[in-house]
Amino acid sequence: GDQDLLKALERLWDNMTTRKMYVSGGIGSRYDHESFGKDYELPNARAYAETCAAIGSVMWNWRMLMLDGDARYGDLMELTLYNAVLPGLSLDGQSYFYQNPLADDGQHRRQPWFGVACCPPNIARLLASLPGYFYSISEEGIWAHLYADSTADIRLGEEHTIQLKQRTGYPWEEDITIEVEGEGDFALMLRVPSWCEKGCEITVNGETFEDHASSGSYAEIRRTWQPGDAVHLKLPMPVRRIECNPRVVENREQVALMRGPLLYCLEQVDNTDLDLRDVVLPDEATFSVRFRPELLGGVAALSAQAGVIEPDNGWDNRLYRTVHYHVGEPQVRGMEITAVPYYGWANREAGAMQVWLRRR
């Protein structure tokens, strides 16, 4: 019955997330039949990763979340919204991506419309319904799934309307304050994202909330609430290097960059005078994070010192050669690279883009 159905859904979800999903949360690796492809088949430049498929994933994860309150569904909903749905829309709201590749030579650009026009209205529908994904209620109380500067009026039972005000610069800043206007005995369940690997800090009216909430779960703050109570949630956001299962051959010995819920990429317009394929990110590289209000509508950009290693000249006019052990050391140029959020790519002049970077 229902349990068998739930087990089948969980098997499908596990297969998708552990073998068939891009680091962006995008799904569908084949243009052929708009299909998933085989396990670990995740080409970057030829990724289909249709915007509509990402929206379908958000809707599916929301329904799974409503079934059992498991934070992993909330986590994937957030990852997908920021990094697989949002790239489908230009920053000015006028053009759309059908496919969302993770590498490009500058030819893939958003279009104002499509002959098969599912993506534009689907994005419009999702963005219009987005407020409905922030909170839900259960017998325990109120669940907060997503974070953004916002106000919500939530009916709890027959007699209570609770107003929650979120004050935050998320996803750029790690501090979230939730003001509770209303009273009653209930729990406020706050999602602590799985990317928050070092844990989080929670205070209620300035006092530390001791029940340790591990990443990838909901912190349960149960109390008798009074108007004016404030919960403060701090989610540390170091730059994280993400590696891929080695069975995804194309991503071997490479890393992707994330900070908070956001995936980053390199764009040619920020990294002139080099071929993005030649960038090598040393393991010891340190990142600086700077919020740049003038860039892409205001984003936190990452920068680091990296190497640029061009193929040795023994490769001139050659695609293959017998392995040479003494072709000399490759020339390494030191260079500062700049990474921007992947959702904002292809909004400026056309040029190459890359999510996965070689490591050394």
- What pLDDT is recorded for position 34? 85
Backbone angles phi, psi at 355, to 5 degrees: -95, -45
Q: How far apart are CA 257 and CA 302, in angstroms?
A: 9
pLDDT in tens, 2-38: 899 999 999 999 999 999 999 999 999 998 888 999 9
Residues noted as catalytic: 34, 118
Q: Partners of 266 in the beta sheet?
A: 339, 354
> Distances from the Cα of 304 to the Cαs of 48, 174, 198, in angstroms?
30, 21, 22
Cβ-in-10-Å burial (0-12, 13-18, 19+) of 332 comes to middle
Range name among 126-140, 165-179, 266-280, 313-327 with the lowest pLDDT average = 313-327
Question: For 71-85, what is each residue's pLDDT tens digit?
Answer: 999 999 999 999 999
The residue whose two tokens read 């703050």 is 221
Picking from 245, 241, 251, the residue whose alpha carbon sits closest to that of residue 45 is 251
pLDDT per residue as tens digits for the range 247-277: 999 999 999 999 999 999 999 999 999 999 9
Q: Is 96 exposed, middle or buried (0-12, 13-18, 19+ CB in 10 A)?
A: buried
Structure tokens at 249: 């051959």
Q: How many residues are listed for the chain in this entry?
A: 360
pTM, 2 dp: 0.96
pLDDT of residue 278: 95
Q: How confident is the model at residue 327 (pLDDT cuts 50, 70, 90)?
A: low
State which H helix or E strand residue 38 sits in: none
Distance CA 21, CA 14 (A): 10
Q: Which residue has the higher pLDDT, 163 or 214?
A: 163
- pLDDT of 331-342, one tens digit each? 889 999 999 999
